Amino acid sequence: MAGEEGMQIAPPMKQMGYDRAIVVFSPEGRMYQVEYARKAVEKATTVVGVTFTGGVVLVAARSIQKLLVPESVEKIAKIDDHIGMAMCGILADSRILADYARVRAQVNRITYNEPIEIGALVKDISDRKQRFTQVGGIRPFGVSLLIAGMDDDAPHLYETDPSGTLREWKAQAIGRGMKDAKKVLVTDYKDGLPKEQAMDLALRALQAGEKKLSASGVEIGIVENGRFGLLTRAQIKDTVKKFV
């Protein structure tokens, strides 16, 4: 009974229910489930991507606990020979999307006998994420992605968010340290950066977002000369030593 001492007054019915189903818009035109999914991304460790002449560098911070095996936490994944993906948000959702992207890339190779265009793959992933905002009884993917790759000898860096929106960037940061990391990127990014300067800029932006870096808490992937590869733990230790 509303109004009695010690009991909560229920909100009016017209204020209830807008965040209980993905297919319901609020009177303000908002989709609360998508906004909640974005909150999951905003609480995740920072991820940064920077394009340079001939490639893209992806760097990601990961939370490392004392008893945790670091290699069991994957923030950057290889999708195809020329494509890498950095993940920010619910890692279980990220893993599902990474597996989906790998399948789409392999289907393209089998069907057309050529590597998939990164723009086509990113659109496919974004379309899948968008479909999960239109069907009742499901929830959006609580993950944003930075996807790096090469097409026709040109580097590309794309972002997809939980709504399925996609954008292409020269440099971008997502995650809990996004605001501070983007300040560094906006101030210091220049077209035509060489690889070494792009790596330095990406790590400085990551450090600005996370405040503290460690060799075991950083992952680095690079697209270069049409190939994507992950740096080894020894290479990462040597690369980040001046930031630790």
Give the chain's end-to-end CA distance (angstroms, integer): 59
Domains present along the chain, CATH in parentheses: 45-240 (3.60.20.10)
3-state secondary structure of 98: helix
Show the low-confidence residues of the chain (pLDDT under 70).
1-18
pLDDT of residue 56: 98
Q: What is the pTM of this model?
A: 0.89
pLDDT of residue 70: 75
Helix, strand, coil content of the chain in percent (nearest 5)? 35, 25, 40
Return the amino acid letter for 63. Answer: S
pLDDT of residue 37: 93
User: 181-227 pLDDT, tens per residue?
Assistant: 999 999 999 999 999 999 999 999 999 999 988 888 999 999 999 89
pLDDT of residue 31: 84
pLDDT of residue 21: 74
